[in-house]
Structure 1
């Protein structure tokens, strides 16, 4: 995301029911609007009784003191990491605004009653947030500092920064909506690693295509979560009901979010890089066993479980291996190219349209502002190079942040 903008229910549906005891899955909330409610086959195979059939028979006979509890093959986790990520992002934004201290570094501020937490003028930042100079100090992604300043840590630090109130609000709502449900299903370790690696992948692709300006935001990591949901649906395909509806709904959500990326100041390369990283990671981290079997210890004495099947399908192992190899190669090659100063736009004449399509309503051109300055005591004379405007300001001491912001106002 550029500085000036934001961003199943599982059921077992084995083809064969002979020699199987079917068990109800835990449900999957990722696509609650598209997926059906959980159900279970109640038709017992020939000569054998399923677990549900036994329950119905026991209840029908009115037996007291005996009740079979549904076996839940997938553990449900208590989500704490995603709420922690949300809190961390909010705390970092508050600290950023504190450091920004608009009244001290700018001539005018928005919502001045907030004191040093007031916002930069809308001309500088329409998202109600700090200046680009402050974001740069806090760790925003700036390619020149990564390549020439050996500050590769900015590829990770930038995903914890946000350009403004609207930016962080949109991203954190998305993180809560998507991330908590994923953490409940797969645990904090896998989802935490997925979030961070996808965020890194988004920053890496952004750096290879957009090498001017600063970039901040968790959008790459969030698109990584969306990508992992798609690959999770594919790799666990056999335990979904209404597969096509779930797939089409998820694809529509992804396409709509990527379409927003063609607006100016939105870093669609970070979105795509995060999505691709998350898509590959989903095959690695979110693989599910295909429950066409059940362990004997979960079945009462006297009931036959039948033959066992492998926990995972062969195609799952193939996807796992291919995805892991592609992910390692992609991130390694991308990082090496970045540190060598490669600009992929030099090898792709049309790729810039991926992140912004010019129309009569907006322009995709970005330009840095430059000013000539002459200071005598507390008087500063600024002249904008691009439009020739000049003005005299009164400032106290030398403050490069304030001078930069005055230059931005003069050239806008």
Structure 2
């Protein structure tokens, strides 16, 4: 067979090859999940997420918590008016949900305080933060992991407040919100190169602006504001952030791994448990509050 015949056969083959099919156009959900993966995950994990991305189950935990917090706020502000539209009032301070040092033997208060907020600006800030960050995180990591991080921040916040600010009451979901922020912040820092440097810098700046504004407002309300009413501790912000930077980072960095088999997770849980035990013993035997 001559080279001319081979060329003709090759040309015939090429002419009769079926053209490659164009990939199907991306739907709105595809674009949404792509955006979520870009914000929440380093580049080497995005394809894995997109292959199995769906909204089943939907972000039930963060939505349920947000609805519960909003319902409690409306109850005290509308059906049981306590001037909660503006700031914390005596009625809120007497709520069975608020953490009150003198009633710390009622153990549920160390968790339930997250449902009560000191004014409309307080709850709006917390809801915006936890919905904007919590929903994408829960889509990626699912509700049981988000719930673990969030509640670890809430409990850690109240226990830390009982030690470092023992005379003050505590309200708001800032401990849980800051746990989510702390875990996400650590992921951005550790995976900075994989999250595109400019984009990573933008994320860090956004987090710092939001946290700086919220903490600044908390400090103002704690030390400067002359508004009448009981003072509220802000220690939960920092304790929640620390919980997120340890437990939260470990949980969020195990997107495609079995969390139970990660030794970092058990180290964080052991350290957190030691803190909880110490805080409980402090409240029983060493607290200056009777």
Superimposed CA distance per residue, residues 143-186 of structure 1 (whole angstroms, 9 cap, x where no aligned partner): 1211xxx2121110101111222221221122211111111111
Verify: 1:87 aligned to 2:53, yes or no. Answer: no
Taking a change above 3 Å as real, the CA distance of residues 198 and 95 of structure 1, as seen in their structure-2 partners, is same
Verify: 1:211 aligned to 2:166, yes or no. Answer: yes
TM-score (norm: length of structure 1): 0.50
Q: C-alpha distance in 2, partners of 1:89/1:131?
A: 17
Which runs of 5 or more residues in structure 1 are unaligned?
A: 1-25, 41-68, 101-116, 291-310, 345-412
Q: Residue 94 of structure 1: CA displacement?
A: 2.3
Q: C-alpha distance in 2, partners of 1:288/1:171?
A: 26
What number of residue pairs does the alignment pair up?
241
Q: 1:287 aligns with which of 246, 253, 257?
A: 253
Verify: 1:144 aligned to 2:102, yes or no. Answer: yes
Verify: 1:262 aligned to 2:219, yes or no. Answer: yes
Superimposed CA distance per residue, residues 90-135 of structure 1 (whole angstroms, 9 cap, x where no aligned partner): 11122223564xxxxxxxxxxxxxxxx4x53xxxx6x525632343
Verify: 1:96 aligned to 2:54, yes or no. Answer: no
Superimposed CA distance per residue, residues 19-62 of structure 1 (whole angstroms, 9 cap, x where no aligned partner): xxxxxxx6463885x999x799xxxxxxxxxxxxxxxxxxxxxx
Which runs of 5 or more residues in structure 2 are unaligned?
A: 1-32, 223-231
Taking a change above 3 Å as real, the CA distance of residues 74 and 324 of structure 1, as seen in their structure-2 partners, is farther
RMSD: 3.7
Report 1:193-342 matches (<5 A).
193-233=148-188, 239-242=194-197, 245=201, 248-249=204-205, 252-253=208-209, 256=212, 257-265=214-222, 267-288=233-254, 317=262, 319-342=264-287
Taking a change above 3 Å as real, the CA distance of residues 35 and 278 of structure 1, as seen in their structure-2 partners, is closer
Aligned to 1:65: none
Report 1:25-104 matches (<5 A).
27=34, 29=36, 32=39, 72-73=50-51, 75-77=53-55, 78-97=58-77, 100=80
Taking a change above 3 Å as real, the CA distance of residues 201 and 289 of structure 1, as seen in their structure-2 partners, is closer
Aligned to 1:110: none
Q: Residue 230 of structure 1: CA displacement?
A: 2.0
TM-score (norm: length of structure 2): 0.68
Which structure is larger by alpha-carbon Rg, 1 or 2?
1
